[in-house]
Amino acid sequence: MGCSSSSAKDKKSEKVLRATLIIQNWYRGYRARLKARQHYALAIFQSIEYADEQSQMQLSNFFSFMLENYTRVHEEDPKLASRLFESNVQDIKDRQDYVGLVEVPDSYEGPRLQFPLSFPDIDLLIEAFKKQQILHAHYVLEVLFETKKILMQKSNFTHINTSPSKEITICGDLHGKLDDLFMIFYKNGLPSEKNSYIFNGDFVDRGKNSVEILMILFVSFLVYPNNLHLNRGNHEDFMMNLRYGFTREVLHKYKIHGKKILQMLEEVYTWLPIGTIIDNEILVIHGGISDSTDLCLLHRVQRNKMKSVLMPPMSIIGDNASNLKKNKLGVTINMPDKTEQNDSFSEQLSKHEWEQVTDILWSDPRGRKGCYPNTSRGGGCYFGPDVTSKVLSKYQLKLLIRSHECKPEGYEICHDGKVITVFSASNYYEEGSNRGAYIRLSFGTSLRFFQYQVTKATYSKPLHQRVNTIESSAIKILKERIIGRKTDLIRAFQLQDHSRSGKISTTQWAFSMENVLGLNLPWRSLSSHLVNTDKNGDIDYMSSFQDIHIEKPVKEAQSTVIETLYRYRSDLQIIFNIIDSDHSGLISMEEFRAMWNLFSSHYNVHIDDFQLQSSVRIPYASDPQLSGSGLQG
């Protein structure tokens, strides 16, 4: 009887064990599927982010094209040519020109800074921003002016040393996410003589609190200029700010003095150091390197001449070569004075210098050996582990720390431990999409990584809800990209649809999507979110555009015209923002037509004047809006 009881218990235990294993295997598979969905969503976000940056970099070619056609523009519309090519930004030399003319009224209830600044001002500013107070434009301008004065005394690369008693914290991209900066200071302490920081670029754009982040960092820098170090990122660039939100943020928060603040910021950006070297062993730069990176040259280059990566040095073109002058945009224009021509070229980096700086601001590491063009971003290069070893060895360095790329865990180690990416903006794409991180190091010790995720609701939701949120947001922005190429996609689908059935195979659909959009995405895996598939596995390709369309601003406009304007809306907004000197959101039809003629010629876009005119009877700031299920504009 005892043997029988023991046998029954063994069988029961075996069933429990088997059930436990089945549940474990199911749960592991379930989590793996959720992680795969999360991975695909992040791939969508990153691919579209890089495609936008590629478009931004391509604008530099357009501005070169504008230079070549300057004479024609001038003949057609001298007033427009003057606004585009002649500088209206005076060199900011005197504090009185900017700060003294902006008074702080007695009614102002925000933080009041006391110059020269001290530690209490940092604390005062942080507490004010936690209460969502706005720093008065007078103080913003004074901080910018004082920051520029100190930055002008700094070298291109800041050389610092650690010691057993002195640690340094390295932070990556913040992108206007103020809560992440608060979290870093909460966990790691405020900057001080004993608590040094390096902020490795991309302080601004995308997030809604770029002004506040800049003010905290600059005030901390002014209090501790030898303990808080700032590197320039690719978004410390006034042309990038036009596309990615910082310009709009400044003009919204400072409606009266916003333009003055932006002009001052252009100057400050150019004086930011381009790198930091720790203990003569660790190179900290925003982007990366190339096989031609010359640190000796980069130490000597006049960094303040790099106004914008989108404005490369202009070569002498044709008959216009004898009369050239530098303007606000970094392009050159026809002017009669040869002396001014020589002065203008002395204000520009050489092409080789420009490429060197662009590489360290824009490049990304990859596992493949060699150095090849960064086709995803359109600027800088991809560099392999062999390039890393070669450059580090050449300059007797041991490690490259860089930022520039969002990583799911906030940091990533590659190239046999010789390259570390650190990214400090958590929830970068969407709530729960990624952690932020920072690095602490001291002399003779290993690097220590600290991760965090600033959130109000993420961890209260189960994993599947978090993934659903990230995935839905990713699919939404992907559909926005798809609808902007509707005509091209239909044409590609129809080339595959030999029977004119309205259906093609999944392979044919995936090929067409990648061929037109060029986003390097796993289209077959994403098809279930984007299209309807029949029982035979064939795709109804017109379902690619279901539940979404571009709302016409006027009834007379053809869909193809609106689609084209929608596709290039970000590029056009940047160009029109430059024309719109008073930031009213309005430009004349003549200005629009003159610029569109150049734009359409350069981008090979064909729209006749009647269709163009019927499509733009609205302020340029009002985009055609997306509408449809889940995609309200």
Active site residues: 235
Please name the residue that has the structure tokens 């490259």: 400
Q: What is the three-state SS of 97-158?
A: HHHHCCCCCCCCCCCCCCCCCCHHHHHHHHHHHHCCCCCCHHHHHHHHHHHHHHHCCCCCEE
Please name the residue that has the structure tokens 């020109």: 97
The residue among 62, 238, 194 whose CA lies nearest residue 605 is 62
Render the burial of 492-517: b for 16+ CB within 10 Å, e for the rest.
bbeeebeeeeebbeeebbbebbeebb
The residue among 478, 466, 436 whose CA lies nearest residue 453 is 436
> How far is Cα 289 from Cα 406, in angstroms, rounded to an integer?
18
Helix (H) or strand (E) holding 169: strand 168-171
> How far is Cα 376 from Cα 382, in angstroms, rounded to an integer?
10
- Give the total residue count for the chain: 633
Output the six-digit token pair for 69.
Answer: 């056609």
Are the beta carbons of 47 and 521 closer than 8 angstroms? Answer: yes
3-class secondary structure, 413: strand
The residue among 563, 569, 565 whose CA lies nearest residue 550 is 563
Report the first-to-last Cα separation within the chain, whole angstroms.
76
The residue among 227, 226, 224, 203 whose CA lies nearest residue 215 is 203
Q: Name the DSSP letter for residue 585.
A: S
In DSSP terms, 196 is beta-bridged to 168
Could you write out the DSSP letters of every residue in 313-336?
A: PPPP-GGGGGS-EE-TTS-EE--S
Are the beta carbons of 196 and 168 closer than 8 angstroms? Answer: yes
φ, ψ of residue 176 to 5 degrees: the values are 70, 15
Strands 626-627 and 538-540 come out as unpaired
Q: Name the DSSP letter for residue 25.
A: H
Strands 228-230 and 196-199 come out as parallel
To the nearest 10°, the Cα dihedral for 253, 255, 257, 258? 60
Cis peptide before 191 (omega within 30 of 0): no
Residue 70, C-beta contacts closer than 8 angstroms, at least 6 positions apart:
81, 85, 320, 333, 334
Q: What is the largest CA-CA distance in the chain?
A: 113
Are the beta carbons of 142 and 117 closer than 8 angstroms? Answer: no
Neighbour order of strands in the sheet with 419-422? 157-160, 275-278, 282-284, 399-402, 419-422, 411-414
